[in-house]
Every structure is written in structure tokens, then in C-alpha cells.
């Protein structure tokens, strides 16, 4: 490489650009992965459909009863009235349809939060599917996606006011 070409090149800028490209691919993969029956608990499908990515903590405030088709699924299942339903029974027609697309481009130098907007998110996290994902599969996704490693991703849920004196629920955090 000629001296003038070397002076024109920007290795730090190129590295940062590559990190940002990989970081944004990773964020989309994580969001897509969490928005599935395999990695999120599913009753009506509202929780699995309510993952959101942003640069601030995600507030858990949406109720399935307020959004279609999940309100209809819940209403139809709950209509059973006096009929006995075995413990652990669930609607036969859950719908997983992500409500929040990842359209923003994020910078690897700033934290990114992937949280769930379902009001009951803290309780849904108790099942363990998401913790298994964060502690196991997420590391594999990072290794597959990031050519250079540096950044922070938070996967968290905030409980609604009154459920916890601190106001925060279960959360997982990973740094690479």
C-alpha cells in the first residue's frame, strides 16, 4: 500500500462502522428470536409479540385485552364460563405477531434495551425460557454475528408500580 493510500484510510472508522453493522444485525436477531413460541412463554401470544428495542428501559404497560387479535383470543378462551378447564390449559389459537419492528439504527457505543411491553412481563419471565436464551443461545448469536466484540445489550422487564418496592422486575444483561 502506498503511503498516500495509507494516510487516506481510516482503520478506526472502518472498525467502528463494522461494529455498528454487526451490532444492529445482532439486535434484530435477538428481537426476532425472542418473538417466538420457542423462546417466550405463550398463552395468547401477546407477550411473545410485545418485544421492543430502544435506547431506554422498556416500560411494561400494555394489556392483551386492549389489542387485537389477542383480546379476542383471550375473550374466546375465557368464555368457557362454568366449563372446567384442566390446570395449565391454554387457548388453542395463540398468535405471535411482533408489534414493534426494529427500524432504528443503534450505535454499539450506547446501551440498547430489549424489553417487553406486556404489563405482566415480570411474571412471564419467571418461566425461565428467556433466562435460558440469555444465558445460553445469546452468547452463540453474539459469536456468530459480531466480527469484533464490544457493546452492551439489556434484556429486561419492569414490573408495574405496586408490584415491587424498587419498581424493577426480572432482568438479564449481557456485555460483549
Q: pLDDT tens for residues 132-160?
A: 898 889 988 988 898 765 555 555 555 43
Outline where 9-66 has alpha helix (H). 11-34
* Predicted pLDDT at 80: 62
Is 3 inside a domain boundary? Answer: no
Residue for grid cell 466484540: 149
Between CA 116 and CA 157 the distance in angstroms is 6
Closest listed residue to residue 46, CA positions, set 93, 102, 85: 93
Nearest Cα to Cα of residue 98 among 38, 160, 49, 148: 49
Is 85 inside a domain boundary?
no
Contact by Cβ (8 Å): 52, 116? yes
pTM to 2 decimals?
Answer: 0.75
Q: Which residues of the chain have pLDDT under 70?
A: 1-8, 80-88, 148-176
**For position 3, what pLDDT does the model report?**
60
Going by the DSSP 8-state scheme, the letter that residue 62 receives in this structure is B
Say how many CA atoms lie within 13 Å of 38 toward its Cβ. Answer: 6
* 72 part of a folded domain: yes
What's the total number of domains in the chain? Answer: 1
Residues 29 and 74: their CA atoms lie apart, in Å, by 29
Kindly state whether residue 158 falls inside one of the protein's structural domains.
yes
Domain that holds residue 42: 11-79+90-175
Amino acid at each position: 500500500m502506498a503511503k498516500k493510500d495509507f494516510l487516506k484510510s481510516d482503520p478506526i472508522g472502518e472498525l467502528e462502522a463494522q461494529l455498528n453493522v454487526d451490532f444492529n444485525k445482532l439486535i434484530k436477531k435477538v428481537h426476532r428470536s425472542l418473538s417466538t413460541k420457542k423462546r417466550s412463554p405463550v398463552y395468547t401470544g401477546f407477550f411473545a409479540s410485545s418485544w421492543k428495542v430502544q435506547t431506554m428501559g422498556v416500560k411494561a404497560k400494555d394489556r392483551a385485552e386492549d389489542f387485537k387479535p389477542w383480546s379476542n383470543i383471550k375473550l374466546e378462551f375465557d368464555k368457557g364460563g362454568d366449563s372446567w378447564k384442566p390446570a395449565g390449559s391454554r387457548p388453542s389459537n395463540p398468535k405471535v405477531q411482533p408489534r414493534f419492528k426494529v427500524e432504528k439504527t443503534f450505535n454499539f457505543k450506547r446501551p440498547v434495551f430489549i424489553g417487553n411491553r406486556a404489563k405482566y412481563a415480570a411474571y412471564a419471565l419467571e418461566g425461565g425460557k428467556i433466562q435460558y436464551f440469555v444465558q445460553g443461545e445469546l452468547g452463540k448469536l453474539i459469536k456468530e454475528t459480531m466480527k469484533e466484540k464490544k457493546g452492551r445489550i439489556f434484556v429486561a422487564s419492569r414490573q408495574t408500580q405496586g408490584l415491587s418496592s424498587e419498581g424493577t422486575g426480572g432482568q438479564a444483561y449481557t456485555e460483549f
